[in-house]
Structure 1
Amino acid sequence: MSSVAVIDYGMGNLHSIAKALQHADPQTQVQISADAKVIQDADRVVFPGVGAIRDCMQSLRALNLVEPIMQAAREKPFLGVCLGMQALLTDSEENGGIGCLNLFPGHVRRFTDGLRDQHGGILKVPHMGWNRVKQKSHPLWHNIAQDSRFYFVHSYFVTPDREEDSIATSDYPDPFTCALARDNMFAVQFHPEKSQEVGLQLLQNFLRWDGAA
């Protein structure tokens, strides 16, 4: 039986994504855990999260989870979600500037206040709701139509240093990177567990993915 570890560092609706993973493939063993051995032994790892990046990094260090995450990101299919994506960058300007895991060179920026759509309407921060995603080729987009809508809740977005690491964009109102990929790592700003059929398809793709691009 294949297994997936959902990293528990005290932030995020872990049961929501665990339930979605189980629904995506009932044959997969899904474990929510902060145990380094469980993470190490799992076939795949999901790094979720919501909240502030300072609290995220403090919790990872307090629970001795930095190295298990770094090792998993080097060795097996690895999925970062929302705050779990942002933590993979070099640093974030949230909370006055916070160093992150630097698995993807780049930075996390805040949407500026006063953004307006093409009709002059004010765009609120946080960006919340359904938004179209423009994909680049990757196995995790299998059976997901171009410009499918996914569910977002965020005030910060990633700006990777390497253009090739950006595997999808969305607009608010300008294009921003909403998915990253390199080797066996894939990360998304949106919430697949809240994105209905397309989110479930992405999780199914992840659970079948061997980590190759």
Structure 2
Amino acid sequence: MAAPEVVVLDYGSGNVHSAVRALERAGASVSLTRDTDAVLNAHGLVVPGVGAFAAVMDALKAIDAPRWIGRRIAGGRPVLGICVGHQILFERGVEHGIPAEGMGEWPGEVTALPEDAVVPHMGWNTVRPPEGSVLFEGIEDERFYFVHSYAVQNWSFDVTIPEMSQPKVTWSHHGADFIAAVENGPLSAAQFHPEKSGDAGMQLLRNWTTSL
């Protein structure tokens, strides 16, 4: 069986080569590119992200990436967001009191973790995946590596159409509960860095790539 083709979106985000290497170890054929045809037609697209919410959105808009991501989701083609690439899938981010528009695939706002929490939230933490999670199959009790000061701390998206399944939301806790991952049809995202999460992160990427 041929390895699934995965594109890691190259839009200027730092620290993407570790994601490329991790996906290759997970069994994918990986390219780092912003080529439109490759982005639209690969079996899977990974949207990485580090830094500020607004800066990542501006960089994505500069290469028309939100439209590409939207087309893939509409066509049922898998997308995986990582860290700020997870955050920008929500409606907006608020950093230092300044709001920035996100992609709006899910309702919700990225806001600062509580003041009494040590920030950034940097290091290993447990997660609470829901029953039936594909990403966390076999690694439900493992720890994953986080580096962030902002997160989505509320979930308000309920599917009311009987034929559609509810998104699977995974939670973690640092000063408050926050969303650690979401699985919603072709669209998945993780607040943590699977590529830095050792064997557990490798298994999560393998779970995603084998589902493509």
3-state SS of 1:93 partner? strand
Letter in 1 for 2:9: I
Q: C-alpha distance in 1, partners of 2:45/2:191?
A: 17
Q: CA 1:47 to 1:23, structure 2 compared with 1: closer, same or farther past 3 Å?
A: same
* Alignment match, 1:120: none
Contact persistence 1:77–1:209 (CA under 8 A)? no
Letter in 1 for 2:11: Y
Contact persistence 2:69–2:79 (CA under 8 A)? no
RMSD (Å) for aligned C-alpha atoms:
1.4
Larger mean CA deviation between 135-144 and 149-158 belongs to 135-144
Letter in 1 for 2:150: Y
Q: C-alpha distance in 2, partners of 1:166/1:43?
A: 21
Contact persistence 2:195–2:202 (CA under 8 A)? yes
Shift of 1:107: 1.1
TM-score (norm 1): 0.88
* Alignment match, 2:126: 132
Within-5 A mapping of 1:173-184: 173-184=175-186
1:94 corresponds to 2:99: no
Deviations 1:151-207 (A, max 9, x none): 000011013322654521111133211111211111100000000000000000000
* Alignment match, 2:147: 153
Letter in 2 for 1:100: G
Identical-residue share of aligned pairs (%) = 36
Q: C-alpha distance in 1, partners of 2:195/2:60?
A: 22
Letter in 2 for 1:147: D
Larger helix proportion of the pair: 1
* Alignment match, 2:189: 187
Task: Give the 4+ runs in structure 1 shifted more than 3 A.
Answer: 163-166
Question: Where does structure 1 lack aligned partners over 5 or more consecutive residues?
Answer: 116-122
Q: C-alpha distance in 1, partners of 2:92/2:156?
A: 12
Q: C-alpha distance in 1, partners of 2:138/2:168?
A: 20
3-state SS of 2:119 partner? coil
Q: C-alpha distance in 1, partners of 2:43/2:198?
A: 25
TM-score (norm 2): 0.89
Letter in 2 for 1:162: F
Shift of 1:40: 0.8
* Alignment match, 1:39: 39
Shift of 1:76: 1.1
Letter in 1 for 2:77: K
Within-5 A mapping of 1:1-213: 1=2, 2-25=4-27, 28-74=28-74, 75-94=76-95, 96-113=98-115, 115=116, 123-136=117-130, 137-144=132-139, 146-158=140-152, 159-162=154-157, 164-165=166-167, 167-210=169-212
